[in-house]
């Protein structure tokens, strides 16, 4: 048996930021915040793609997205619509605490 048409279905996700994540994004410089938000949007649009700056967290559900010295801790919430929730944003020395 051969498969003639094979494709991977990717589901774009709705991005939601927590209040604390938005507050942290406002505190960091605009260029870094913009680049981090672009990476978050890129991941949400194509989660099946290979992203060197996105890794799964060890020990807990979720993933982290890296931009320079800053990290965004995110979770994927399945429901009627798939939500990509940005839970926390911060400097790499503080964000995992």
pLDDT tens digits, one per residue of 76-89: 888 777 888 899 99
Q: Which residue has the tokens 């978050």?
A: 40
Who has greater pLDDT, 1 or 41? 41
pLDDT tier for residue 11 given thresholds of 50, 70 and 90: low
Cα(72)–Cα(3) distance, integer angstroms? 39
Cα(81)–Cα(52) distance, integer angstroms? 26
CATH topology of domain 14-91: YaeB-like fold (3.30.2310)
pLDDT tens digits along 41-69: 999 888 888 999 999 999 888 999 999 99
Residue 40 token pair: 């978050």
pLDDT tier for residue 1 given thresholds of 50, 70 and 90: very low
**Domain chopping of the chain, boundaries:** 14-91
Q: Count H helices, E strands: the chain?
A: 2, 5
> Of all residues in the chain, what percent carry a pLDDT higher than 90?
55
Burial class of residue 43 in the structure, from the number of CB atoms within 10 Å of its CB (0-12 exposed, 13-18 middle, 19+ buried): buried
Report the predicted TM-score, pTM, of the whole model to 2 decimal places. 0.81
């Amino acid at each position: 048996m051969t498969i003639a048409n094979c494709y991977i279905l990717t589901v774009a996700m709705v991005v939601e930021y927590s209040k604390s994540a938005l507050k942290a994004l406002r505190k960091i410089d605009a260029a870094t915040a913009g680049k981090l938000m672009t990476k978050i949007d890129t991941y949400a649009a194509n989660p099946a793609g290979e992203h060197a700056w996105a890794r799964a967290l060890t020990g807990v559900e979720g993933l982290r997205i890296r931009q320079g010295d800053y990290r965004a801790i995110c979770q994927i919430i399945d429901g009627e619509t798939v939500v990509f929730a940005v839970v926390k944003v911060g400097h790499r020395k503080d964000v995992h605490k």
